[in-house]
C-alpha cells in the first residue's frame, strides 16, 4: 500500500448485509466508509438525466467525458456528486437498479471509478464495500472479507426495506460479466450472515482484522 493507511475490503452480493456491516465497522474503528456501489449508481443515474441508453457502450463512454463525477467525504462517509449535484436517495430508484449492472459492466466506467476508489487511501484508512474491492481495487490488502447470505434471506432483507429490486438477477449479471466480476477474492475470509446479527458479523470482521495484523491503534478504538 502506498502509505500507512489501511484498506479493509468488503465484498459480497446484493442484500448480503455488507453495507450495514461496513458502516458499523467503519464507525467503530473511526475509518472512512466508502460505498462504491453508490458510484456505479451515480453513473447509472447520470444516464437517466442525460437520456443515454445504458446498453450503448459508446454513448456511456462518451458521457464520462462530458459529465463530472466527483467523489469526496462528509462526516467519514463517501459522497459522489454528478456535475455538482447530489443525487441523494434517487440512487436507490428502481430505474437505477435496472440500469446499474449494465454500466458497471463497461471497462471504461470501472477504470474511472477504480482510480477514484484508490485515491481515497490518500485521505485516510478506509472500509470500502463493493464487488471487486479485494480482487481489483486493493488486491494487496490482507484485510479482505466476503459477506454472503442465502438467497431467501437476501430477498427478505430487500422486501423488508420496501425496495423493489431483484438482487439475484443483478448478482447474476454482476457475476457473469467479463470485467471484474463479483468473485471471492483470493485470501478473503467468507462470513455467511444468514443466521447472524449485524453485531455478530461486525465482531467476526474485527476478529479478522486483529488476526491479520491491523494496527493496534485502530483495534483499540473498538468500544
Q: Is 43 in the site for ligand DC (CB under 6 A)?
A: no
Give me the least distance between CB of 41 and ligand DC, in Å please.
Answer: 6
Q: How many residues in the shown chain lie near ligand DC by CB under 6 A?
A: 13
CB 43 within 8 Å of CB 113? yes
Q: Is 99 in the site for ligand DC (CB under 6 A)?
A: no
CA 209 to chain centroid, in Å, comes to 19
Residues 55-84 that bind ligand DC (CB under 6 A): none
CB atoms within 10 A of CB 89: 7
Q: Is 148 in the site for ligand DC (CB under 6 A)?
A: no
The HSE-up count of residue 142 (CA atoms within 13 Å, CB side) is 9
CB-based contacts of 95, cutoff 8 Å, min separation 6: 48
**C-alpha cell read off for 178:** 467479463
Among positions 23, 99, 102, 131, the unique one binding ligand DC when judged by CB under 6 A = 131
Q: Is 135 in the site for ligand DC (CB under 6 A)?
A: no
Positions touching ligand DC (CB under 6 A) are 14, 36-37, 40-41, 100-101, 104, 130-132, 170, 174
Amino acid at each position: 500500500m502506498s502509505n500507512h493507511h489501511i484498506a479493509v475490503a468488503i465484498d459480497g452480493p446484493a442484500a448480503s448485509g455488507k453495507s450495514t456491516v461496513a458502516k458499523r465497522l467503519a464507525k467503530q474503528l473511526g475509518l472512512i466508509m466508502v460505498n462504491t456501489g453508490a458510484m456505479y449508481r451515480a453513473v447509472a443515474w447520470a444516464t437517466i438525466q442525460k437520456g443515454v441508453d445504458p446498453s450503448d457502450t459508446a454513448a456511456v463512454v462518451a458521457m464520462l467525458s462530458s459529465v463530472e463525477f466527483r467523489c469526496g467525504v462528509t462526516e467519514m462517509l463517501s459522497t459522489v456528486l454528478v456535475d455538482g449535484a447530489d443525487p441523494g436517495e434517487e440512487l436507490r430508484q428502481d430505474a437505477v437498479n435496472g440500469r446499474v449492472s449494465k454500466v458497471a459492466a463497461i471497462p471504461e466506467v470501472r477504470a474511472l471509478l477504480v482510480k477514484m476508489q484508490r485515491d481515497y487511501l490518500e485521505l485516510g484508512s478506509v472500509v470500502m464495500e463493493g464487488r471487486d474491492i479485494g480482487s481489483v481495487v486493493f488486491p494487496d490488502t490482507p484485510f479482505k472479507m466476503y459477506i454472503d447470505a442465502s438467497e431467501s434471506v437476501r430477498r427478505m432483507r430487500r422486501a423488508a426495506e420496501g425496495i423493489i429490486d431483484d438482487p439475484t438477477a443483478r448478482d447474476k449479471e454482476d457475476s457473469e460479466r467479463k470485467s471484474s466480476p463479483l468473485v471471492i477474492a483470493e485470501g478473503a475470509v467468507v462470513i455467511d450472515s444468514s443466521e447472524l446479527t449485524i453485531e455478530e458479523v461486525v465482531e467476526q470482521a474485527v476478529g479478522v482484522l486483529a488476526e491479520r495484523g491491523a494496527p493496534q491503534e485502530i483495534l483499540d478504538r473498538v468500544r
